């Protein structure tokens, strides 16, 4: 495959919080862009409101031929880099982009499936004052946004925490 002369999809890393700016800028240069988004609830000054965020924070996709548009894309407003090696951008298979596009709903957002935690799941706290602590899920709360975990570091200590702050710990072997 001669990706240098062909039109392919590439991942574009945007400057921090500049995905929209970069995507709009490239679209104005007649580059096809795809910035998949999700809708999340965010608390601002104690008020919870929906906000649109990129599916892949800091990244979006652009379709172009590197031989003609690589420098234009690299130096566009809001773009940090085209993802690849030091020498070449790495193309993304069109099927990967299509599979993401297939998940975009009528409202324009990708709807992520809620994966409920199961009692006994081993989890790591990813953010907040207990970041790095390990525990086991005791139960999920009715709002499906918080879980109760038993902390391993403090025997039988229970902690109520937002499920978005947790990651399942995989056990090798």
Residue 59's nearest CA partner among 102, 17, 104 is 17
Which residues in the chain land under pLDDT 70? Answer: 1, 113-115, 142-144, 153-156, 170-173
> CATH assignment of 122-168?
2.30.30.30
The predicted pLDDT at position 20 comes to: 96
pTM: 0.67
Q: Do 8-101 and 122-168 show the same overall fold?
A: no
> CATH assignment of 8-101?
3.30.70.940
The predicted pLDDT at position 155 comes to: 61
- Break the chain into its structural domains and give their ranges: 8-101, 122-168
Residue 80's alpha-carbon distances to 37, 59, 68, 75, in angstroms, are: 19, 10, 19, 8
The predicted pLDDT at position 55 comes to: 87
**Residue 55 DSSP SS3:** coil
Mean pLDDT of the chain: 85
The predicted pLDDT at position 149 comes to: 85
Q: Which residues pair with 29 in a beta bridge?
A: none
């Amino acid at each position: 495959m001669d990706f240098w002369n062909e039109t392919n999809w590439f991942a574009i890393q945007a400057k921090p919080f500049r995905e929209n700016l970069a995507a709009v800028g490239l679209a104005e240069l007649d580059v096809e862009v795809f910035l998949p988004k999700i809708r999340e609830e965010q608390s601002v000054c104690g008020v919870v409101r929906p906000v649109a965020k990129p599916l892949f924070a800091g990244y979006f996709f652009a379709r172009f031929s590197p031989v003609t548009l690589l420098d234009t894309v690299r130096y566009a407003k809001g773009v940090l880099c085209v993802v690849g090696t030091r020498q070449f951008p790495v193309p993304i298979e069109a099927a990967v982009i299509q599979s993401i596009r297939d998940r975009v709903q009528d409202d324009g957002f990708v709807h992520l499936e809620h994966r409920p935690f199961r009692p006994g799941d081993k989890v790591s706290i990813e953010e907040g004052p207990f970041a790095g602590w390990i525990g086991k899920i005791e139960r999920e709360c009715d709002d499906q946004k918080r879980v109760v975990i038993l902390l391993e570091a403090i025997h039988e200590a229970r902690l109520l925490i937002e499920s978005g702050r947790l990651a399942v710990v995989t056990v090798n072997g």
